[in-house]
Amino acid sequence: MIYSKIVVAYDGSEISEKALDSAIKLAKLNHFSHLEIIHVINIPKYVVGEAVYIPPVEINSDYSEQITTQIQQLLLNPDNTHIESARQSSPNHS
């Protein structure tokens, strides 16, 4: 089975590295596949009674570069890849 778009979550854990490796192998079956790697950060919520507190989180560019470097190291052929980095934050939900 050939896929045109493959999405995989990556958080730096061993299991996400295995998932990324499997996604890369699957994408290489079809050179026209688009592999999208999503990096998600779990932001803790603190609930006291009915109040919900979500602390502010800052992600600096060094962290983004570190994740990009980790992903590039996991790719089997980094010369034949294009990596884009984009930040998207979701609204706070209570």
pLDDT value at 89 more than 60: no
Residue that wins the pLDDT comparison between 56 and 89: 56
Residue type (1 letter), 33: S
pLDDT value at 7 more than 90: yes
Torsion of CA 36, 19, 71, 54, to 10 degrees: 80
**Whether the predicted model's global pTM rises above the 0.85 cut:** no
| Residue 74: partners with Cβ closer than 8 Å, 6 or more residues away | 17, 20, 21, 24
| Residue 76: partners with Cβ closer than 8 Å, 6 or more residues away | 24, 28
Average pLDDT over residues 70-76: 75
